[in-house]
Amino acid sequence: MRKCLVFLFLMTAIRSFSLKVRNRDIYGVTSSYQSLSAQSEVRNGDIEDLEPGSSLFKPSPVPGYSKKIDEDYQRKKLAKILLDKDLITRTIADWSRPMPAEYVDAPLILCGPSGVGKGRLIKALMKDYSKFFKKVVTHTTRAPRIDTVNGSEVNGTDYHFVTKEFYDAMLADGLFLENAKVHNNYYGISCESLKSVTNEQKIPIIEVDIQGAKSIKKFVASTQSLRPKYVFVSPQSINMLRERLDIRATETEEDIQLRIKNAVLELEESKEEGLFDEELVNDDFEKTVNTFFRLARDWYPQLPSPARIRMLQRKIAKVREMEQSMKTNKEVGSN
């Protein structure tokens, strides 16, 4: 039968759309779908004509005829699910549109006490927006956290783990945009780490403590080269923060006590007028993620909405489910 030109156009568009979201490839529609569409002639009215209960589903004296009609109906139903050209076209247009160059000079600064959930918020944002954002990797003298539940920290990805001697040499050479001593360890954002992100034309995400946020503000005031957006993430209570650190189980009791002590001071300092643009209270992580996304869309309004991609994912998942069901029914029927 004739191939459906619209469906082929759709499949070509999906294959060319090379964006990965939430670690799943949303355009991986298999060749079997093309085979199904090639066997199905989709015209206006085709699917309605094949709805269950129509005259085409009346018992037929021809052996296998009803089964053939049912298979055609299933194929056309698959095609109908994906034949949303408007969704595909708008999604491709949104995610293909170049990000405004000025966004690169507006890094997203995320600040808050240890254990409040800054890292998780960044990972949530990156799952949908890795095309537009990238975390600036901090240098630190502390050892990597070993976490058998959520995964241990990776050198070069979570932090650049360096010796105190190496850190001091970088500091002496003036290589840090900001640096501070936090919880008896040293942390610093190097100018090179920031540049490596901006060179990729992505919005830098910088995770710092209160001292780091203040240092960046001083740097910006003196150079006028950046227009950061500052977010402070706070816990619902100190007791909740303590519970999270206990659950994380990556610090000693002495370290936890020190972090709680510093958290109290940070929460007090965060109230300084003009220091932060927004504050997020992380009492419910999913709600906090949603608020964080809304902030990002408000500050960077040209960012595309992930909702359309998720809708496309659901459509493709439905196609796969239906195709598998058809395959299973066919195997059962042949037995």
Structure letter (DSSP) for residue 303: S
The dihedral built from the CA positions of residue 96, 98, 104 and 110, taken in this order, carries a sign that is: negative
Contacts of 218 (CB under 8 A, 6+ apart): none
Token pair of 137, please? 């990797």
Q: How far apart are CA 180 and CA 108, in angstroms?
A: 19
Spatial separation of the C-alpha atoms in residues 146 and 164, rounded to whole Å: 20
Q: Which of 172, 217, 218, 212 is nearest to 188 (CA)?
A: 212
Report the C-alpha gap between 204 and 195 in whole angstroms.
Answer: 9
**CA distance readout (Å), 273 to 74, 152, 217, 279:** 62, 37, 13, 12
| Closest residue by Cα to residue 208 from 252, 251, 148, 270 | 270
Q: Which residues are catalytic?
A: 145, 248, 259
